[in-house]
Amino acid sequence: MKPINPLRLLLIGIILAVAGWAATVVTSRYSMATPVLPATALATMGVIVVITLILGIRVLRWRNSLKDSSKKKTVLDPLLAARTLVLAQACAYAGTVLLGWHVGIFLDQLRIWSLRSDQGITWLALAMAGGGLVMIVVGLVVERFCRIPPEDGDTKGVDGKPGRVVRGEATGEGEYAYRGD
């Protein structure tokens, strides 16, 4: 599995910011409700972040136990590690979508800030964007937790950099909690 490309996240965020802004313009033109998630979505985002962190910390503890030769080596379920990695990447992508969409809404609401008597939607959009940013950060951090450090006896990768050549990959980069021995 390849690591998340930050430029891809940025592109997705920009596209969704434009889409969120356009959707807000259209809904306000036709006197419809602003397309922002309800405040209860913050609780759901929080639960996702906490679960991702808990699973990521389990993988990190296992990874750190590999470095310490005095501790007995525990076996990590490879399926758990793979699912943690997928969850971390999904968390980062979902956070990007939420951040982009709600930044677009926030920017549109900001231009009419002084005309509105109730700025609740603006603050809610800002809170959702902040929640999306937290999801991105947690997703990227937990993704880093899932990387396996190279071992002393590992061979050099195809491009000459230290690392292992993993089945199905042309370079030694991007190895996660899986050793294809």
Higher per-residue confidence, 158 vs 30 = 30
What's the rounded mean pLDDT across residues 27-43? 93
DSSP letter for each residue of 82-150: HHHHHHHHHHHHHHHHHHHHHHHHHHHHHHTGGG-S--HHHHHHHHHHHHHHHHHHHHHHHHHHTBPPP
Q: Per residue in 114-137, pLDDT tens?
A: 666 667 888 999 999 999 999 999
Mean pLDDT of 95-112: 92
Global pTM value: 0.79
CA distance 127 to 71: 43
Name the more confident of 141 and 157. 141
Give the percent of the chain with pLDDT over 70.
76
Task: Please determine, for residue 166, whether its predicted confidence score (pLDDT) is greater than 60.
Answer: no
- Cβ of 78: how many Cβ atoms within 10 Å? 11
> How many CB atoms are closer than 10 A to CB 120?
11
Quote the tokens at residue 57.
Answer: 């910390």
Q: How far is CA 22 from CA 31, 86, 105, 120, in A?
A: 14, 31, 8, 20
